[in-house]
Structure 1
Amino acid sequence: MPLVTITVCKPKSLLFKETVLNAVHAALIEAGVPEKDKFQRILELDTENFRFDTRYPDLHKDRNQDFVLIEILWSVGRSVQIKKKLLDTLMKRLCDKSMNPENIMVCFRETAWENWSFAGGRLLHT
């Protein structure tokens, strides 16, 4: 069960947010996540509350106010190949929507299976 958090600078249009959310979910599905396993949120922050370097580490094109930070929290066990496939799919989908791939940062965070309670305080994987 991935939990996706997307952080952007205000203001972003519904189309912008839907484009990113849909691309992330499609990439997750191609990486083997079930289609119905969709838990996403967008944090839309004022520019003074979201700071980022425009060139780090050595970008081909500067980041701008359309910078998107995508955090994917999911269970341990996915290989580097799966993560690379997800990133390839995600970048292709966002580039197809004319988004600058240098404006997209993805961070994978992993947690043990027993750390998920999907509802009712039940630990399904213990």
Structure 2
Amino acid sequence: MPLVTLTVVKPKPVEFKSGVLAAVHGALVASGVPQADRFQRVLELDAENFRFDPTYPDLSSQRNADFALIEILFSEGRSVKVKKKIVADILASLTAEPLKLNAENVMICFKETRWENWVFGGGRFIHT
């Protein structure tokens, strides 16, 4: 069960947020995540509450107000190869129509947790 968090500077239109989340979900599904396994949240912050360096580490163009920080929390065990494919799929979607984001404006962070740390509802540990 991936949990996706998108953090952006507000205001962002619903089309922007929905487009980013759809791209992430599509990439996760392509990697084997079930279609119905969609848990996402958006943090839309004032500029003074979302600070980021415009060029770190060595970007070819500066980040701007369309910067999208995507955090993907999922169970451990995916290879670097799988993670690279997820990133490539996300960027392919985000840089195409209709969003046409600059890839330098997208940061993706994978966070992994052990399978037994997921409680899906009603106290059910389905992976233990």
Q: TM-score range by the shorter chain?
A: over 0.9
Measure, in 2, the Cα distance between the counterparts of 1:15 and 1:116: 30
1:89 aligns with 2:89: yes
> What corresponds to 2:64 in structure 1?
64
**Letter of the structure 2 residue corresponding to residue 28 of structure 1:** L
> What corresponds to 1:106 in structure 2?
108
Measure, in 1, the Cα distance between the counterparts of 2:69 and 2:39: 16
Q: CA RMSD in A?
A: 0.6
Measure, in 1, the Cα distance between the counterparts of 2:10 and 2:82: 32
Residue 62 of structure 1: SS of its match in structure 2?
coil
Q: Deviations over 1:96-117 (max 9, x none)?
A: 0311100000000000000000
CA shift for structure 1 position 77:
0.4
Residue 95 of structure 2: SS of its match in structure 1?
helix
- Listed as ranges, the gaps of 5+ residues in structure 2 are none
Measure, in 1, the Cα distance between the counterparts of 2:17 and 2:91: 15
CA shift for structure 1 position 124:
1.1
**Letter of the structure 2 residue corresponding to residue 54 of structure 1:** P
**Letter of the structure 1 residue corresponding to residue 110 of structure 2:** F
Moved over 4 A (4+): none
Residue 96 of structure 1: SS of its match in structure 2?
coil
CA shift for structure 1 position 21:
0.7
What is the total number of aligned residue pairs between the two structures? 126
Measure, in 1, the Cα distance between the counterparts of 2:30 and 2:121: 26
Measure, in 2, the Cα distance between the counterparts of 1:92 and 1:122: 36
TM-score, length of structure 1 as denominator length: 0.98
Residue 32 of structure 1: SS of its match in structure 2?
coil
Measure, in 2, the Cα distance between the counterparts of 1:81 and 1:33: 16
